[in-house]
Amino acid sequence: MFFMHHLCMPRMAKKMSKADGTKFAPATKQTGPVVKPGEFIFAAAFLDHGHIYPMVRALLDAGGQCKYVYEPDETRRTAFLADFPGVQPVHDFEAVLQDPHVHMVAAAGVPSTRGPVGVQCMAHGKDYFVDKTPFTTLAQLEEARATVARTGRKFMVYYCERLHSEGAEYAGQLVKGGAIGNVVQVMGIGPHRLNAPSRPGWFFDRARYGGILCDIGSHQCEQFLYFTGATDAQVLHSKVRTHPNYPELETFGDCNLLGNNGASGYFRVDWLTPQALPTWGDGRLFIAGTQGFIEVRKHMNLGVNTQADHVFLCNNDTYEYINVEGKVGCRFFGDLVLDVLNRTENAMTQAHAFKAAELCLLAQEKAMII
């Protein structure tokens, strides 16, 4: 059995943040604290990507306390402190690592540094929560796996296209409730706006950002595993296309996956969102099951409105449109806080986080250049 939310009018989206993916902070329902003040202490570090803002806000909403921020760049550090004025800036990352009261470090550094920073945090007894993509090489992934096994610490990843999307959250509830039977295919599209003049130098350096399938393709690999229930998959085919003016920037990529439970997957990602679109990308998710299908229009309903989190369901009993913006919330962050304190795995298993990272790395490694 499953539940339906009645059609509702959600609050208006923030158009400025929606136009720029680097600054987009989802206006999801506030789910409230899961711990008392002071029970969960974390630090923010390496603020190279704007995703650090929704990561920190979500942890604060779950009841966490951000004690420190470490960021060498003064401009980024000052901007962060303007949004989070109670946080203490430190000029040496070692101060964060040596504080026994810090449970977890949240970070969004340059992609090629994210894995090594996580290993450093775990070696100092801290759990780690990092922006996607968590690794740019398979060697980094294996080092992190070995460190997790040795230390027992957590290496969690902000796969925000599912974890911070109420539409995806609700789709997961429908799938788990049996609304469309067994999932046989997941298809995702993740278009993004380039905004090249606003991008930092590392964005155009393939060794530092990892390639398009490794970077924004990581969201799609995670979604495939989550919605199909597969624990492993093969990369059947992948390809990428480079930008004519930036030879190391890949502007298009796609991939076919086959799960170890027989489910299939396809995703397309790109940096081709045109300027007229009022959001940074018309991201969509399609889930086909043995008894129905689900579509999620995450950021807008093209030609209708710019509200977010549109869910379309059709099965043998009903067809329905449900707008869930501001209605469902995102459980991951509260569950993560409790997982850190209780050493459980309710938010996401470590195996799942690493397998999604492995698949996007393999897709990138095997990609044909077109």
Would you say residue 150 has pLDDT above 50?
A: yes
pLDDT of the residue at 362: 98
**In the chain, where does the domain assigned CATH 3.40.50.720 lie?**
31-158
pLDDT of the residue at 353: 98
Would you say residue 25 has pLDDT above 60?
A: no
- Look at the domain 31-158 and name its fold: Rossmann fold (3.40.50)
Average pLDDT score over residue span 256-282: 97
Instruction: Annotate 300-339 with b (16+ C-beta within 10 A) or e (fewer).
Output: bbeeeebbbbbbbbbbeeeeeebbbbbbbbbbbbbbbbbb
Residues 84-114 have pLDDT tens digits of 999 999 999 999 999 999 999 999 999 999 9
Average pLDDT score over residue span 342-364: 98
- pLDDT higher for 26 or 260? 260
Would you say residue 177 has pLDDT above 80?
A: yes
**In the chain, where does the domain assigned CATH 3.30.360.10 lie?**
162-330
For the chain, the 3-state helix, strand and coil shares in percent, each to the nearest 5, are 35, 25, 40
* DSSP H stretches of helix in the chain: 15-19, 52-61, 74-83, 93-98, 111-123, 138-151, 160-163, 166-176, 206-209, 212-215, 217-228, 332-342, 350-366
Tell me the CATH architecture of domain 162-330. 2-Layer Sandwich (3.30)
Average pLDDT score over residue span 316-331: 96
pLDDT of the residue at 23: 53
Q: Cα dihedral sign for 186, 306, 347, 119?
A: positive
pLDDT of the residue at 27: 57
